[in-house]
Structure 1
Amino acid sequence: MNKLRALLAANQKRGSFRAEANTIYLYDMIVADEFEAEWWGGISPAGFIAQLKAMKGDVAIRINSPGGDVFGAVAICQAMREYDGAITVHVDGYAASAASVIAVAAPKVIMAPGSFMMIHNAWTVAIGNVDDMMATAELLDKVDGSIAESYATKSGKEAAVFRDYMAKETWFTASEAVDVGIADAVAEDKPKATAKWDMSAFAAAPKLPEPPAVDNQNTEDHVSQRVRQHAARMLERAA
């Protein structure tokens, strides 16, 4: 099984995709079409585009995705470019692989504290003779060049810079992504997404930090205090 299929299989039907008001939650893998979405789970370009087309005004796209099909991501990117309103991407967890391509298509990218953006060379599987293999290698090189151009367009840097990062499978922290120009800011609020993806298909995937623990005792004390205060006011009114 090639690496992309391994990624899809390891994360089959783990994700979620929804749209609320003018926010799209892309907490899922990216797949090529509806058939793959039905089999593996994940969001297809058709599913994403249908939600985006139903919106008006400015849109937020929140991402926590291990990536997936690059051509599916390219179709999503084009829909984002054609959208009339402003689009802001928020990376809540991972924007890895194809998900990073979607992220940098937005005019504004905000990284959550502790989030990661990963870029790497494209994967595929090929069957055939030496000519088939050479043709596949040629195609992969073109795909990698196109992906590098998308990062270069976002950052204002040369595509060659990103070809080097892609060859090494580079995981950028939030501040590193801002420094290299593929993100615009680090959010001040707490992380919203937790790590739930199996990232073993990648060579050096870091784990997202656990969200801050909720102090249940303090929460319960606060609720009890409010109940007591409300009861006291009711008694004062009755008197």
Structure 2
Amino acid sequence: MNKFFNMIPGEDAWCILLYGDIGEYSDVTAAGIARELIEAESSGKRIDVRINSNGGDVYTGIAIFNALRNSKADIHIYVDGIAASMASVIALCGKPVEMSKYARLMLHSVSGGCYGNKTELRRCLEEVEALEDTLCRMYAPKLGIGEDEIRARYFDDTDHWLKADEALSLGFIDGIYDADPVPEDSTPEQVYRIFNNRLEQPLNDNQMNLEEVKKRPRFKDCASDADVFRVMDSLEAEAAKVPSLTEEVEELKKKNKAFEDKAREEDEAAKKKLLDDAQNDGRIDATTRPVYENLLNSDRENGEKALQSLKPKKRVTTDLRVDPGNESPWDRRMNEIKNKLNR
């Protein structure tokens, strides 16, 4: 039997837990509810249905609604955590229905999807609208208002979350009961998890199954509950450092990238200078430059050695250079030849 959905016999009442998603392949199924309802009815005792569900399949929910509504048993419904979407409809079956002071009720439009041509898409839309009409008829008797008003108020493609006092004032529930406290700023999802966790594991005085915790590697040396809590405190302290460490790592990554970009630019400039110098002194030319450039890129050390091993070529412009106020080497040589001939 599913750990979230079972029946608990009691002295005065039998309890059916409707915890989890609603659907034929989910935590709460119509067949499961009907089977347990029949078994509970045979006891002749009151039946308490406790809800903590985000909703689910509409058709499965309608089947559960009808099973509970048509039962001859005295059914009380308690919304422990969340009764959202289809679960809020099922909650109407209680005589009475009560919410814990920390619970949430939610109503919204029917959602669905389909694939096909425009005719098939229209049929899908018509089916969604027909289901909303059905849900309006199911809400109406409890709320005491017309179906059109319900449709306009709650089927407007918006999620309508109600706290216990709001649900009571609007007529969705008949009373509010106390429960173990839940943080005031808890989101609906957090409320859902809190109540599921309370059901899922046995609780000790510290509201935790510490014997299971001690089996984990990090807690293997913990001899007492106090040791467990000391380890948890250290873990919380470490976890608190994570945001600042993450921010520091990101900042270091940015600085490192800046250094890498600068080093890359300087390296490219150095390689360009090596090639420019080699080309200027005649060691390489425009044709051979790409060869040495590729060599520098693939093997910088051997590329530099290869360039250094090349001999510069003497250029005519070097021999013909004339320093200011002096003869060029060419003119000087010509004058020497003329002087020898005139002797």
Q: CA deviation at 1:160?
A: 2.4
In 2, are the aligned partners of 1:88 and 1:109 still within 8 Å (CA)? yes
In 1, are the aligned partners of 2:102 and 2:182 still within 8 Å (CA)? no
State, as a whole percentage, how many aligned pairs show the same letter. Answer: 29
Structure 2 length-normalised TM: 0.50
Q: 1:121 to 1:176 in 2, by over 3 A?
A: same
Point out the structure with max Rg over C-alpha.
Answer: 2
1:73 maps to which residue?
61
Distance 1:181 1:121 in 2: 19
Counterpart check, 1:184 vs 2:167 = no
2:191 maps to which residue?
208
Q: CA deviation at 1:161?
A: 2.7
Distance 1:88 1:61 in 2: 6
Matches within 5 A, 1:3-82: 16-21=4-9, 22-31=14-23, 33=24, 36-37=25-26, 42-56=27-41, 57-82=45-70
Distance 2:141 2:169 in 1: 15
- Choose which of 160, 164, 173 in structure 2 pairs with 1:170: 160
2:318 maps to which residue?
none
Distance 1:165 1:191 in 2: 30
In 2, are the aligned partners of 1:93 and 1:191 still within 8 Å (CA)? no
- Choose which of 91, 95, 100 in structure 2 pairs with 1:107: 95
Q: 1:192 to 1:108 in 2, by over 3 A?
A: farther
Q: CA deviation at 1:162?
A: 2.2
Q: Which has the higher strand share?
A: 1
Q: CA deviation at 1:107?
A: 2.6
Structure 2 unmatched runs, 5+? 196-203, 207-343
2:271 maps to which residue?
none
Q: 1:97 to 1:178 in 2, by over 3 A?
A: same
Q: Which moved more, 1:86-95 or 1:55-64?
A: 55-64
Q: 1:153 to 1:140 in 2, by over 3 A?
A: same
SS at match of 2:6: strand
- Choose which of 128, 134, 156 in structure 2 pairs with 1:140: 128
Distance 2:112 2:134 in 1: 16
Superposed CA deviations along residues 140-188 of structure 1, whole A, max 9, x for unmatched, are 111011112211111111222322223222011111111111111111x
Of structures 1 and 2, the one scoring higher in RCO (CA 8 A, sep 6+) is 1
Structure 1 unmatched runs, 5+? 1-13, 200-204, 217-239
Distance 1:215 1:95 in 2: 28
Aligned letter for 2:107? I
Q: 1:71 to 1:191 in 2, by over 3 A?
A: farther
**Alignment RMSD (CA, Å):** 2.7
Aligned letter for 2:191? L
Structure 1 length-normalised TM: 0.71
Distance 1:160 1:15 in 2: 40
Aligned letter for 2:179? K
SS at match of 2:5: strand
**Would you say how many aligned residue pairs link Structure 1 and Structure 2?**
186
